Amino acid sequence: MAAKEPKKAWQEIAASSQKRRDETIAAIDPPIPDVPSELPRNVTHIPRELLTTKEVEITESSPEEILEELRTGRWSAFNVTNAFLRRAGLAQKLCNCITELLPQRALERAKYLDRYFAEHKTPIGPLHGLPISVKEHLTMKGLDINAGFVGWVGRVGEEDSHILRLLWNAGAVFYVRTTQPQTLMHLETSSNLYGVTVNPFNRELTSGGSSGGEGALLGLRGSCLGIGTDIGGSIRSPAANNGVFGLKPTSYRLPVYGWSAAMLGEEQIIPCIGPMSTSLEGIKLFMKVLIDQRPWLTEPSLLPFEWRDSKDWLRREDGKRRLKVAVLWDDGIVKPHPPIIAALQAMVHGMKKSEDISVVNWKPYKHDLAWEIIASLYFCDGGDEEMAALESSGEPLRPLSEFILKENPHTRRRSIDEVWKLTVRREQYKAAYAKIWNDTGKDGDVVDVILCPVGPGAAPPLDCSRYWGYTSQWNLLDYPALVFPITKSNPDRDAKDLDYVPRNEQDRYNYDLYDPEKYRDAPISLQLVGRRYEDEKVIQALDFIMEETGWVFDSKMIDRPGI
Amino acid sequence: MAAKEPKKAWQEIAASSQKRRDETIAAIDPPIPDVPSELPRNVTHIPRELLTTKEVEITESSPEEILEELRTGRWSAFNVTNAFLRRAGLAQKLCNCITELLPQRALERAKYLDRYFAEHKTPIGPLHGLPISVKEHLTMKGLDINAGFVGWVGRVGEEDSHILRLLWNAGAVFYVRTTQPQTLMHLETSSNLYGVTVNPFNRELTSGGSSGGEGALLGLRGSCLGIGTDIGGSIRSPAANNGVFGLKPTSYRLPVYGWSAAMLGEEQIIPCIGPMSTSLEGIKLFMKVLIDQRPWLTEPSLLPFEWRDSKDWLRREDGKRRLKVAVLWDDGIVKPHPPIIAALQAMVHGMKKSEDISVVNWKPYKHDLAWEIIASLYFCDGGDEEMAALESSGEPLRPLSEFILKENPHTRRRSIDEVWKLTVRREQYKAAYAKIWNDTGKDGDVVDVILCPVGPGAAPPLDCSRYWGYTSQWNLLDYPALVFPITKSNPDRDAKDLDYVPRNEQDRYNYDLYDPEKYRDAPISLQLVGRRYEDEKVIQALDFIMEETGWVFDSKMIDRPGI
């Protein structure tokens, strides 16, 4: 009888995963420079000091700028790819945000594209030569798909995820896979496989999650366009924490076949894929390129509707463009920290100068009930599948796994009858919210979009992202939600309100977290939310606000002064 | 201590429901004539003998003809409504298809509309004065909503269903509620409350179900437009069995808020509402009028997309209209009876004469697996909720409740984990089917629609509708499916194939059912199926086939000779 191979300890598996990651980084040519052994809190300036001017120019360009250079043949796909490989490798040393680089397949792909361009004098598709970063969650052929569980290491993808195939068709280059947290159900990114992904603007803060590898990488400009996933804030929290754009689209618009996760088949709350980018154009491009390929023909759960960006969603019957924005200052449960309120105030102040933007207040409707419903529907098996995946290696629970699986009073095994009852409550809540939205039109125009925080503060200190309400609210309602950067935390400006009396335990927790100095340099972002399936309108609304207020988002935002 | 009121026997409750129904019929003026005590098998000619010429003219007009008369003021809403009230009352005596007439509220409404028209010289909306029949399933304010359970009698609607409010806004008149089977999960219509609804073309056959009250009423022209619901064939089986049109739309296009049923909150297989009508124009009108009112603003699970009938779905790139039809002759499990095959042959023969229609065969892909998946997902609580509703009154199970709840090997209580696994299998099956559809385009045009049977025969004898595969297949796939009448059974033409060797038990059951004489006069209908959300295309395809082949559907189809 053959002796059974002894089971490896989880630490051993993690060490070998990290070793494999480091080998992919070591393979980059020219080698990635070392970083100081004592890193400062804010490391965003470091890549500029260690990369070539050309590499900095490439990696700090927006997706649309890069594509323009590639389309005209001024830049080669090879050089662009190698620049991003180098900056991503560096980002790993600064923030621990990647699980592996893919130099061989990326550079081969880039060379192929360059040959194609040389031969045909035209790009292969709308994303010709654009490097795209990919959360490890999404299956890639021949590579590990562990979903953040040590016990799943060694599961290997049989074919690329549907979304990757479509981006590939359009000319993309995949060059890096990014970190994800244990269980994928944190608003941070920490796992026993790869440790903690930290925030490049302030390494004592979280990069957010669960797409926090993407977030930190984008924040450091080791990527200009990446793919995240979101069931409670997992695209938006890292986009916000790292000062980039992120869109959680309405459900069933983008293809999800071929991701790896526990609880596949769960449909009560729909998980979404969406883009994260250093520019709003990157977000638009991603959506359009995918939807133009009619992914519903292959993945029938998707809705067969075009990307409707040729329609002007803000044009009124009188021919003029107008926008009505409702501001949700506070969800009534947890009061946002001063820098968030200040950002909202600045936005409102700017918008009020425009004749064509009207601003009203949005009164939150039972956001605590919304959390109760969504939190009850997240783990209808009581977390058994997640726990089994954890137990398969014996790895311990990370603090935020403990928080969502064990401390969350709504996590328990449900009978199908209970699930049906919760589903009915979900629909009732959605109908009540829709009615409130409809009623805003009683005295004139109906509200177009809601402007609100992305969380009750900027990126929290590690293991402290315990309030999901500002993002999960829109998952429950299945509304599209777009995150965009505004400014950075500034201790000299954003004093703590020492007289504030917290409303409840969650509010106290959040209040106690705030200390202006701790949050220094953390990006401040906000969220624009639209009605279900008005993804295109939300994007146009942000463009319109920018036009009307004269604000500019610079893809080199690292040094962009606050408004 | 007050004595508790003794619980009524279920027979007593049923008797009082029937008494109430009969009282509403007795209230009609002029009184509804008696029918012969010995009814013939085919009773479709009787209304013509007992109603006035004007009443026959009105009730045998199509919805679009009636609306035209109302719109021009040639007919009054009052007269139209009263004609349908009388014919519906008569239909009850012939087929047992209604649960109550609503003379008071219908005639009041009609009078209001007539006054409105007199005053404004214009209709109140696109359905001004059109009587619409309503399956009892749909809540009406102040009326019983028992979902076919004796134990639920006495539950009273608090407000009208969403769909009824929208039809009302458009000018409709609700005048009758129609029967539904115990549990709503039969392809027939038999309950302990109201007994069995029979087929007006042949009273020994079923009207189909679960919208069988609608089916029989439409077949007898006691309605020209009615509302059915469908999770496995419940619109299409009664439409087919009674020779009228019926559309099961793709999910989440029409509003469903406010129906009464067990297992609310169940989403793995989406139940749909749809129209049944004596004309194809009736089907179109219903869809358009509802979707034009943007029901998604109130019911957020609905998809915010227009009724896209201004687009020409058959126009090709060269500017010509063309159609590619795939014929599913047989699902490989249960072979259809000879009249169904003959109808398909006649259709194909006609279509092949057109240069602009190409016809290919559709090879069914594992329709037995499809049934296994959908049947497993119908009652994930093992039927407990249905059984509790039955047991609350002590009523016995009807044979087809026994069939679907007890004999169905796939009915059992599932854990949420099992439901997720089944959901994944459902999605895999849908993807496999989509791939087959895509592959039809490899050598040219992709298939536009599938033409297939609605069931493995015409309306079966009572309690014999035990094969759902030809309809439930499209519920699983969530494809739109349109049923339309072709001809009637004719024993002199459709001989039994005495040499046929059945493939399996279900096939034998169906084979044994067939006896040409038993099925005399039963309508023969077929089904046109489209890809998900191509509801508009399916309708245009049927219109195109009719144009190209020169066939005409007459809303007075009762006497229409076969093709």
At A3 the pLDDT is 55
Cβ separation of A423 and B380 shorter than 8 Å? Answer: no
Which among B415, B421, B531 is the nearest to A265, CB-wise? B421
Q: Confidence class of residue A561 from pLDDT cuts 50, 70 and 90?
A: very low
Average pLDDT over residues B34-40: 95
Residue of B250, B251, B301, B416 to mutate, testing the A interface (most A Cβ within 10 Å of its Cβ): B416
Cβ separation of A435 and B257 shorter than 8 Å? Answer: no
Cβ separation of B416 and A414 shorter than 8 Å? Answer: yes
User: Which CA distances in Å does A312 have to A317, A527, A544, B367?
Assistant: 12, 21, 11, 44
Comparing B520 with B553, the larger pLDDT belongs to B520
Task: Report which residue type is found at A283.
Answer: I
Beta-carbon contacts of B68 under 8 Å, excluding residues fewer than 6 positions away, are none
Average pLDDT over residues A210-237: 98
Task: Note whether A294 contacts B: Cβ–Cβ < 8 A.
Answer: no
Average pLDDT over residues B115-131: 98
Q: How high does pLDDT run on average in chain B? A: 95
Indicate whether B263 pLDDT > 90: no
At B1 the pLDDT is 45
Q: Hey, which residues of A are catalytic here?
A: 135, 210, 234
Cβ separation of B381 and A532 shorter than 8 Å? Answer: no
Cβ separation of B532 and A296 shorter than 8 Å? Answer: yes
Q: Confidence class of residue A30 from pLDDT cuts 50, 70 and 90?
A: very high
Tell me the shortest Cα–Cα distance from B431 to chain A, in angstroms: 6
User: Which CA distances in Å does A469 have to A466, A477, B439?
Assistant: 9, 12, 45
Cβ separation of A434 and B299 shorter than 8 Å? Answer: yes
Tell me the shortest Cα–Cα distance from A421 to chain B, in angstroms: 6
At B560 the pLDDT is 44
* pLDDT per residue as tens digits for the range A347-405: 999 999 999 999 999 999 999 999 999 999 999 999 999 999 999 999 999 999 999 99
Which residues of B fall in the annotated binding site for substrate? 184, 210, 231-234
Indicate whether A536 pLDDT > 50: yes
* pLDDT per residue as tens digits for the range B317-337: 999 999 999 999 999 999 999
Neighbours of B36 (CB within 10 A): 12
Indicate whether A198 pLDDT > 80: yes
At B550 the pLDDT is 87
* pLDDT per residue as tens digits for the range A253-312: 999 998 878 889 999 999 999 999 999 999 999 999 999 999 999 999 999 999 999 999
Indicate whether A555 pLDDT > 80: no
Q: Confidence class of residue B555 from pLDDT cuts 50, 70 and 90?
A: low
Task: Note whether A267 contacts B: Cβ–Cβ < 8 A.
Answer: yes
H/E stretch holding B323 reads: strand B323-327
Tell me the shortest Cα–Cα distance from B445 to chain A, in angstroms: 14
Q: Which residue of A has its CA nearest to B384?
A: A417
Joined together, the tokens standing for residue A294 give 């009619």
Cβ pairs A/B, distance under 8 A: 107
Cβ separation of B265 and A433 shorter than 8 Å? Answer: no
Beta-carbon contacts of B524 under 8 Å, excluding residues fewer than 6 positions away, are B339, B340, B342, B343, B458, B485, B486, B487, B488, B489, B562
Tell me the shortest Cα–Cα distance from A333 to chain B, in angstroms: 25
| Residue B444 φ/ψ region, left for φ over 0, alpha for ψ in the -120 to 50 degree band, beta for the rest | left
How many whole angstroms from its chain centre is CA A215?
A: 6
At A563 the pLDDT is 36
* pLDDT per residue as tens digits for the range B22-33: 999 999 999 999
Proportion of chain B above pLDDT 70, given as a percent: 98
**For residue B532, which residues of chain A lie inside 8 Å, CB to CB?**
296, 300, 304
**For residue A303, which residues of chain B lie inside 8 Å, CB to CB?**
303, 533
Indicate whether A559 pLDDT > 70: no
Beta-carbon contacts of A8 under 8 Å, excluding residues fewer than 6 positions away, are none
Which residues on adjacent β-strands are paired with residue A198?
Answer: A206
User: Could you give the domains of chain A?
Assistant: 14-34+43-295 (3.90.1300.10), 323-559 (3.90.1300.10)
Average pLDDT over residues A497-517: 97
Cβ separation of A430 and B301 shorter than 8 Å? Answer: yes
Comparing B259 with B90, the larger pLDDT belongs to B90
Rg (CA), chain B: 22
Which among A298, A385, A417 is the nearest to B434, CB-wise? A298
Which among B416, B424, B431 is the nearest to A416, CB-wise? B416
Indicate whether A414 pLDDT > 80: yes
Task: Note whether A428 contacts B: Cβ–Cβ < 8 A.
Answer: no
Which among B296, B380, B423 is the nearest to A265, CB-wise? B423
Q: What is the ipTM of this complex?
A: 0.95
A465 annotated as belonging to a binding site for a ligand: no
Comparing B488 with B171, the larger pLDDT belongs to B171
Task: Note whether B430 contacts A: Cβ–Cβ < 8 A.
Answer: yes
B5 class by beta-carbon count within 10 Å (0-12 exposed, 13-18 middle, 19+ buried):
exposed
Beta-carbon contacts of B527 under 8 Å, excluding residues fewer than 6 positions away, are B236, B240, B451, B452, B453, B454, B470, B471, B474, B481, B482, B483, B484
CA angle A123–A109–A288, rounded 5-degree value: 50
At A493 the pLDDT is 87
The reply to whether B234 belongs to the active site is yes
At B562 the pLDDT is 38
Task: Note whether A531 contacts B: Cβ–Cβ < 8 A.
Answer: yes
State how far the Cα of B181 lies from the Cα of B174, in Å rounded to an integer.
Answer: 21
DSSP single-letter state for residue B37? S
Which among B304, B420, B531 is the nearest to A533, CB-wise? B304
Phi and psi of A135, rounded to 5°?
Answer: -60, 140
Q: Confidence class of residue B478 from pLDDT cuts 50, 70 and 90?
A: very high
Task: Note whether B368 contacts A: Cβ–Cβ < 8 A.
Answer: no
Which among B265, B303, B431 is the nearest to A420, CB-wise? B265
Beta-carbon contacts of B254 under 8 Å, excluding residues fewer than 6 positions away, are B163, B272, B273, B274, B287, B290, B291, B295, B302
Tell me the shortest Cα–Cα distance from A299 to chain B, in angstroms: 6
Q: B residues 473-492 near A, CB within 8 Å?
A: 477-478
| Contact (Cβ atoms closer than 8 angstroms) between residue B383 and residue B405 | yes
* pLDDT per residue as tens digits for the range A44-77: 999 999 999 999 999 999 999 999 999 999 999 9
Which among A384, A431, A532 is the nearest to B304, CB-wise? A532
At B262 the pLDDT is 83
A301 annotated as belonging to a binding site for a ligand: no
- Of the candidates A363, A381, A373, A368, which has an alpha carbon nearest to the alpha carbon of residue A476? A373
Indicate whether B268 pLDDT > 70: yes
**Is A25 in a helix, a strand, or coil?**
helix
* pLDDT per residue as tens digits for the range A7-20: 889 999 999 999 99
Task: Note whether A335 contacts B: Cβ–Cβ < 8 A.
Answer: no
Average pLDDT over residues B346-372: 97
- Of the candidates A529, A497, A511, which has an alpha carbon nearest to the alpha carbon of residue A456? A511
Task: Note whether B442 contacts A: Cβ–Cβ < 8 A.
Answer: no
H/E stretch holding A227 reads: strand A225-230
- Of the candidates B489, B416, B481, B492, which has an alpha carbon nearest to the alpha carbon of residue B453? B481
Cβ separation of B420 and A265 shorter than 8 Å? Answer: yes
Neighbours of B298 (CB within 10 A): 17
Q: Confidence class of residue B561 from pLDDT cuts 50, 70 and 90?
A: very low
* pLDDT per residue as tens digits for the range B517-539: 999 999 999 999 999 999 999 99
Which among A300, A384, A434 is the nearest to B431, CB-wise? A300
Tell me the DSSP string of A426-486: HHHHHHHHHHHHHHTTTTSSPP-EEEEESSSSSSPBTT-----HHHHHHHHHT--EEEEEE
Task: Note whether B501 contacts A: Cβ–Cβ < 8 A.
Answer: no
Instruction: Tell me the pTM.
Output: 0.96
Q: Confidence class of residue B557 from pLDDT cuts 50, 70 and 90?
A: low
State how far the Cα of B233 lies from the Cα of B220, in Å rounded to an integer.
Answer: 21
Cβ separation of A266 and B435 shorter than 8 Å? Answer: no
Indicate whether A562 pLDDT > 60: no
Task: Note whether B267 contacts A: Cβ–Cβ < 8 A.
Answer: yes
State how far the Cα of A2 lies from the Cα of A509, in Å rounded to an integer.
Answer: 55
State how far the Cα of A123 lies from the Cα of A467, in Å rounded to an integer.
Answer: 45
State how far the Cα of A61 lies from the Cα of A67, in Å rounded to an integer.
Answer: 10
Average pLDDT over residues B424-438: 97
* pLDDT per residue as tens digits for the range B163-207: 999 999 999 999 999 999 999 999 999 999 999 999 999 999 999
| Contact (Cβ atoms closer than 8 angstroms) between residue A484 and residue A543 | no
Catalytic residue (one of B61, B62, B135, B207): B135
**For residue A430, which residues of chain B lie inside 8 Å, CB to CB?**
300-301
The reply to whether B210 belongs to the active site is yes
Task: Give chain B's length.
Answer: 563
**For residue A431, which residues of chain B lie inside 8 Å, CB to CB?**
257, 298-300
Indicate whether A560 pLDDT > 50: no
Q: How high does pLDDT run on average in chain A? A: 95
Task: Note whether B531 contacts A: Cβ–Cβ < 8 A.
Answer: yes
State how far the Cα of B334 lies from the Cα of B455, in Å rounded to an integer.
Answer: 9
